A and B are shown apart, each in its own frame.
Chain A
Amino acid sequence: MALAKKITRSLMLAAFGAALATPGVALAQDTGASVNGLTGNAEAGKRDYRRWCVGCHGKEGNGEGENAPYIDPRPRDFTEALFRWRSTPTGTLPTDQDLYDTITRGVVDTLMPTWRPLTPQTRVDLIAYIKTFSPKWQTQRAGAPITIPPEPPQTIDSVLHGRQLFDQMQCWKCHGPEGRGDGPSAITLTDDKGEPIRPYNFHDGTRFRCGETNSDLYKIFMTGLDGTPMPSFADSLKPQDAWDLVHFLRTLQPNVQSESRNVWLEYVKTHQGQIKPIGAESAGQ
């Protein structure tokens, strides 16, 4: 009789608890991970994290691993749930695919290596685990990925319009008129932790930290690099404008083969002395 009472009591408690918890299902949350049909297991991810990631990212996931004091740029602090390379708008969480891509690709010019040697399942497990470092994943959903329209042809009109935008949007303030990362504001830029950070140098650089395609470049300024001085231009640029800007930015990279740079060099040959330098008119004088 006592046992029956106990069972009834626990069943009623469970039902009551479930009734209270049901509203929680409707709350936005994004715990767990799923990429390419694989589901992440946070427990397995924890074991893998302790083997591969803890040295830099730290036991608490706060970027304070043993190696961290000797690394520049510093390892990601997962407790902030603030991620740089996303397909989602500024101020929103990245998708699982974004995180998977970063782990897989690694981050060029930093000490984050490519983790291709780990199986896809391991990488997805790691994503499920790193989400446990911040409560933000419990209360927010990942942002909706931005729509990237098909890329138009790389014509001189597109490049010239992009050049105009680079001038008007004043990208050169940080990136410099030739994209060498030497604009007037470049030297004073700081990241969220107050550490100096330099803008991307298009003249010397080939790959970006988040990839190397035109679509990757498009995403950089249309989602902003959260946690850095690089803002999102999604409110100021129409998708067509964004593609024109991508094409112009490619002309700033002599070490990257692109149709945009070819048509631009042709144009420069035939329009000597007619090209207005960047930064003169839009300096607000």
Chain B
Amino acid sequence: MRIRFFALLAVFGLAGSAMLVTAARPAGGTITGKVTFTGTPPKMKPIDMSKEPYCQKLHNPPIKTQDVETGPGDTLEDAVVFISAGDQGSSSASTPVRYDQKGCQYIPHVAVMMVDQPLQIYNDDPNAHNIHPLPKVNSEWNKSQPPGAPPIDTKWDKPEFISVKCNIHPWMHGYFVVLKTSHYGVTGPDGTFTIKDVPPGKYTVTAWQEHMGTQTQEVTVAGGAATANFVFKAMPY
């Protein structure tokens, strides 16, 4: 009985000191890649903003829905690629992430942040918006933001992919992607991403696209650059 007690104590002690040792390891390589698709994705439709004349006037021709943003070479924009297992050397983030409501659109469409990282939401339009995130794991809230109101300061305390909407303007859709890791990248219009400062090791890397779901890959980083490309199968609906 006593032996078991001390054995348990030793295990906890070792685990604790192992955590301290890991945090001190130096940063290293990068993971880069491209996210593309095969098949036919759904057609993005132009958004009718006639219910908000100010925003309608800003977008001529109208902007399209952003569920699947494709580019030349069948690339996917706004896909989030991150280390989902085996992560080490992640540091918490204190720089606020900015989310704008501008021209009745969320900019960026997908905002990535770490758990507990400050998030600041701005209303840049002369009309009111309400910001309504729809988490299942974190707590849902819904706040009005009239024109000229100060930014909303908030944060999320659990990792989750949270869809965001505005009830006043039903076409407005966006995402808060809350991650445990600081090792993530978001694809740009050319479908490429870069994950920096990755210590050498074996990782599981996940790519997420809001309409097409997730894909994972095992990636080994040996101190230099590693590549991980993701190809999603697109369906027209």
Q: Footprint of B on A, CB under 8 Å?
A: 8-9, 12, 16, 80, 82, 90-92, 136, 140, 168-170, 173-174, 184-185, 188-190, 192, 224-236, 282-285
Contact = CB atoms under 8 A, between A and B. Distances in A.
B140 A285 contact: no
- The binding surface of chain A is classed by DSSP as loop
B167 A231 contact: yes
25 contacts: A8-B1, A12-B5, A90-B141, A91-B140, A169-B128, A170-B127, A170-B168, A173-B168, A184-B51, A224-B142, A224-B143, A228-B142, A229-B132, A231-B131, A231-B143, A231-B167, A232-B143, A235-B150, A236-B145, A236-B149, A282-B127, A283-B53, A283-B54, A284-B52, A284-B54
Contacts of A224: 141-144
B140 A192 contact: yes
Contacts of B1: 8-9, 12
A162 to B, nearest CB: 15
Contacts of A234: 143
Contacts of B132: 229, 231
Contacts of A282: 127
A15 B140 CA distance: 39
Nearest to A230: B142
A168 B136 CA distance: 32
B189 interface: no
Given A231-B130, A285-B54, A226 B141 contact: yes
A80 B136 contact: yes
Given A185-B168, A236-B149, A231 B134 contact: no
B146 A169 contact: yes
A284 B123 CA distance: 13
Contacts, number: 93
Given A12-B5, A236-B146, 5 more contacts: A173-B128, A224-B143, A227-B140, A232-B141, A235-B144
B61 interface: no
Contacts of A92: 139
A174 B132 CA distance: 15
Nearest to A169: B146
B134 A284 contact: no
Interface in B1-55: 1, 5, 51-55
B170 interface: yes
A188 B134 CA distance: 17
A143 B127 CA distance: 30
A284 B54 CA distance: 6
Contacts of A232: 141-144
Nearest to A228: B142
Contacts of B152: 235
Contacts of A229: 130, 132, 142, 167
**Which of B5, B52, B55, B169 has its CB near the most chain A CB atoms (within 10 A)?**
B52
A15 B142 CA distance: 45
**What 6 A-B pairs are tightest by C-beta distance, nearest first?**
A91-B141, A229-B167, A284-B54, A284-B127, A170-B128, A231-B130
